[in-house]
Structure 1
């Protein structure tokens, strides 16, 4: 069974089986990349459970409500755009990342510069930044925001599936540029809105908040990968998986300690006196 194919029932059974032998604390995480990040950052008394998405994390914890083990469960999920949605109740022992997800946290840290050091040509980075008048990270962020605003409108409209809506399919051949008109038309064709005009209007009307709230981390990694492959690369192999690996290992622990996520985890453990 794939880690993304788990059901709440499977997760509940898994935790009960583990708990029969050892009364641990359990962190329920969304996916395999979260396991990789937190495996070296958890306390010894904690077992990590990959749940296959946010809904399963929340549903599994809710399934234990009223049982003694409930107090030993912590769910860690991406913030996504839950702040924009009016109806997203969750148990008290669910905490969220800083905006908008773990990849966004890592890209805003010194881990980003380690990605460039590993995969980029300094001369090509400088040439690109001189041409664009902004940093590579700002370009990645601003490009990801465009796609993120489309996703936000879709979520507010009680959305259709956008699994195939990836920045890479709108990247122009031969350059690190994107066909934003094609992205809008694609979204309308899929049913995000009834017209291009309506979608653009709703995108423009979204709240003006900390810009990373609209950046889906996987989109940003996809965009950065496109840049490294097309214009910035230093000659080695690069793909999204390699970039995410460097990001996970590259954040300084002092930086992670400054995040809301770290403080929320510590606060939960303090209540448990661990």
Structure 2
């Protein structure tokens, strides 16, 4: 049923809510987005609506803001590969700072807070002395996966990225990625392989030279999976041996507080725009 919802359905939901709510409405892609932004709003004054897809966010906000003249609605979406394509958005639609919200949180101080809770300080120190900061290591090991997905999408290769076995191509102790093993892993579960593995690796190396910020290419899902491997094998506390990706993602979301959110471009841009339009979105605005 959720997959059958159209942008017009979401727009109608916004319009029906107007009979009881006159304040701002934030339209987001999914449930976890709603949980995250729900921490930063006054729930009596601001409502969040889940659109269940990026396209639904964009189209529904365009409908209610443009055609129905509801000027207290904004949409927040993941940047995904749009920034890699040089694409931008205009208010009332706003991008996540990085490729998605998980990557945005991972690149913030929330990662440090999570590590303080779930890791051993001595092991962190030893790891970072050898390999660099955990944040940088995770970015280095994550962005080749994101670039491969970008290449697959933009060149119509049709590779399959779900249910990847990260432990096959991520070193459990150093968190370094083996790019050829990563490509082999993706190929093993993909049907359409219209390009050679060596050619794909070359394309990744060509693309990475163009990256100003690796986090633009990093998928949060990949970064969390790699962090989980690190917690299980390299620098986690004794109770992290069985920790799962979902637990790590949830802990990251809890650690991402208002102070970290206020440092993002997303926060700053939405504050400026909502103030110009006469309403308040966030609790500390």
Deviation, 1:27, is 0.6
1:42 maps to: 41
Equivalent residue number for residue 140 of structure 2? 142
2:152 corresponding residue in structure 1? 154
Structure 1 residue 240 corresponds to structure 2 residue 241: no
- For 1:34, what is the secondary structure of its paired residue? helix
Map 1:166-205 to 2 at 5 A.
166=164, 168=166, 170-171=168-169, 175=173, 176=175, 178-188=177-187, 190=190, 191=192, 194-205=195-206
8 A contact 1:58–1:90 mirrored in 2: no
Is the CA contact 1:58–1:91 (under 8 Å) kept in the aligned structure 2? no
Query: What TM-score do you get using the length of structure 2 for normalisation?
Result: 0.82
- Deviation of 1:73 after TM superposition, in Å, equals 1.7
Matched residue SS, 2:276: helix
Does the 8 Å contact 1:140/1:224 carry over to 2?
yes
Q: Distance in 2 between matches of 1:174 and 1:186?
A: 16
For the pair 1:251 / 2:252, whether they are aligned, the reply is: no
| Distance (Å, rounded) in 2 between the aligned partners of 1:187 and 1:168 | 10
Aligned residue among 212, 215, 221 for 2:215: 212
CA-to-aligned-CA distance 1:198-245 (integer Å, 9 cap, x gap):
212222222232121111111101110111112222122522222223
Secondary structure of the structure 1 residue equivalent to 2:238: coil
Please name the residue that 2:53 is paired with.
53
C-alpha distance 180-167 of structure 1, shift in aligned 2 (>3 A): farther
**CA deviation string 1:56-92 (max 9, x = no partner):** 21122233331122x2220101122212326x67563
Q: Could you tell me how far apart the structure 1 residues matched to 2:167 and 2:60 are?
A: 35
Q: Give the TM-score of the pair, scaled to structure 1.
A: 0.85
The 1:143–1:259 alpha-carbon spacing in structure 2 relative to 1, beyond 3 Å, is same
Residues 193 and 122 of structure 1, relative CA distance in 2, 3 Å threshold: farther
What corresponds to 2:24 in structure 1?
Answer: 25
Root mean square deviation, CA, Å:
2.7
Deviation at 1:158, TM superposition (A): 4.4
CA distance in 1, matches of 2:157, 2:29: 20
Q: Which residue of 1 aligns with 2:68?
A: 67
Structure 1 residues 158 and 52: alpha-carbon distance in aligned structure 2, compared to 1, 3 A threshold: farther
Counterpart in the other structure of 2:274? 269
- Structure 1 residue runs of 5 or longer lacking an equivalent are none
**Kept after mapping to 1: 8 A contact 2:159/2:193:** no
Paired positions, count: 270
Alpha-carbon contact 1:145-1:214 (below 8 Å) kept: yes
User: Quick one: distance in 2 between partners of 1:219 and 1:112?
Assistant: 15
Report the secondary structure of 1:15's partner residue. helix
Gaps of 5+ in 2: 280-285
Q: 1:227: which partner in 2?
A: 230
Residues 1:208 and 1:110: Cα distance change in structure 2 (over 3 Å): closer
Larger mean Cα displacement after TM superposition, 244-253 or 212-221: 244-253
